[in-house]
Amino acid sequence: MEFLKDHIPPVRRSLLSVPADNRRALEKAPKLDCDGVIYDLEDSVAPEKKSEARDNLAQAFSQQPQSQQQRIVRINPLESEFGADDLKLVAKIKPDAVALPKVEHASEIAEVVDMLAQFAPVRPIALWAMIETPKGVLNASSIAAESKGLKCLVVGLNDLRKETGVLPQAGRAYLVPWLMQIVLAGRAYGVDVIDSVFNDFKDNAGFASECAQGRAMGFSGKMLIHPAQIEMANQHFGPDPQSLEEAEAIVSAFEQPEARSLNVINLNGKMIERLHLVQAKTLLAQAAMILERKRSR
Ligand SMILES: CC(C)(COP(=O)(O)OP(=O)(O)OC[C@H]1O[C@@H](n2cnc3c(N)ncnc32)[C@H](O)[C@@H]1OP(=O)(O)O)[C@@H](O)C(=O)NCCC(=O)NCCSC(=O)C[C@H](O)C(=O)O
Ligand SMILES: [Mg+2]
């Protein structure tokens, strides 16, 4: 896997949102098997608790300076009375990324990048954008194309439903065109795409079917609200045994001397090209990363 070493896309199957004012949840989060934690200062924290929530995060990060999980802090909008203080905290605790809610234009990302460069000039912090308003969806491609430092688009369907009047329905039929627009925008510009939260955390069948749909649509993972959703998200968005077996077979087939100078081969009645070899190697590398993380826990 030598050639992939610096290019393995980060694994983002499961991203658990944790309200930063909830000390119990903050304590639990680092021990959970999710790929990332989104520490929320925005909608899950009441205005009078924002300051306490920031203090909690400062304490949590100082107690655990490194983490196997990707750590993302979702701040309040910059134009709100809380945005600037949130960003100062981000500059101090240095998470892996800062998530900006309700992004509608690339200029909002640029503004955060500039402010962070002032507060924390040494190490740039990656940006994630929540796409959860009608303008956000319409502008998803310019947001992805023009935002330096942007690594992820995360869909927020609660806000999008609120803003558009689309009803929550199994199968998300009326939302699928917008979801695909966001997937396409991200993929066109090398920005990862994460599917929205599923609110009914006791409905396992509904959640499983939405994970399967999100995976089939091309999302890399799902934002989660409850620890009970982690395992299923990991299963649906992670490499399954059959895909791993197929990936091994593809790698091995291209290693045969007779395949070395071929760009296309017949593998058990299926056309396989070198682009499938790249996909196979990426999958195997991600699976190895997941295993390694499990072992070192
Ligand atoms: C939804 C919840 C309020 C439910 O909480 P609770 O009633 O405490 O659930 P349980 O009793 O089932 O909890 C069992 C234990 O698990 C811990 N727990 C629960 N949730 C979390 C969590 N998110 N992270 C870590 N740990 C968690 C409880 O503390 C219990 O532990 P124990 O005491 O040991 O038994 C709650 O799950 C919750 O607040 N979830 C997150 C809400 C949130 O972050 N909202 C913002 C993100 S959603 C979003 O972004 C929408 C988007 O913007 C959009 O527009 O769509
Ligand atoms: Mg929202």
Shared domain check, 259 and 146: no
Shared domain check, 280 and 219: no
Shared domain check, 267 and 227: no
pLDDT at 121: 67
Shared domain check, 245 and 218: no
Please state the pTM of the whole predicted model: 0.96
pLDDT class of 4 with cuts at 50, 70, 90: low
Cβ of residue 28 lying under 6 Å from some atom of ligand 1:
yes
**pLDDT at residue 6 tops 70:** no
pLDDT in tens, 47-88: 999 999 999 999 999 999 899 999 999 999 999 999 999 999
Shared domain check, 137 and 8: yes
pLDDT in tens, 186-240: 999 999 999 999 999 999 999 999 999 999 999 999 999 999 999 999 999 999 9
Shared domain check, 249 and 215: no
Annotated binding site for Mg(2+): 132, 159
Please give the residue range of the domain that contains residue 84: 2-237
Q: Does the interface predicted TM-score (ipTM) exceed 0.95?
A: yes
Shared domain check, 172 and 70: yes
Q: Spell out which residues have Cβ within 5 A of ligand 2, the ion.
A: 132, 156, 159
3-state secondary structure the chain: CHHHCCCCCCCCCEEEEEECCCHHHHHHHHHCCCCEEEEECCCCCCHHHHHHHHHHHHHHHHHCCCCCCEEEEECCCCCCCCHHHHHHHHHHHCCCEEEECCCCCHHHHHHHHHHHHHHCCCCCCEEEEEECCHHHHHCHHHHHHHCCCEEEEEECHHHHHHHHCCCCCCCCCCCHHHHHHHHHHHHHCCCEEEECCCCCCCCHHHHHHHHHHHHHHCCCEEEECCHHHHHHHHHHHCCCHHHHHHHHHHHHHHHCHHHCCCCEEEECCEEEEHHHHHHHHHHHHHHHHHHHHHHCC
- The CATH number given to whatever domain includes residue 85 is 3.20.20.60
Shared domain check, 291 and 164: no
Q: How far is the CA of 245 from the centre of ligand 2 (A)?
A: 39
Shared domain check, 181 and 37: yes
pLDDT at 294: 86
Q: How many domains does the chain have?
A: 2
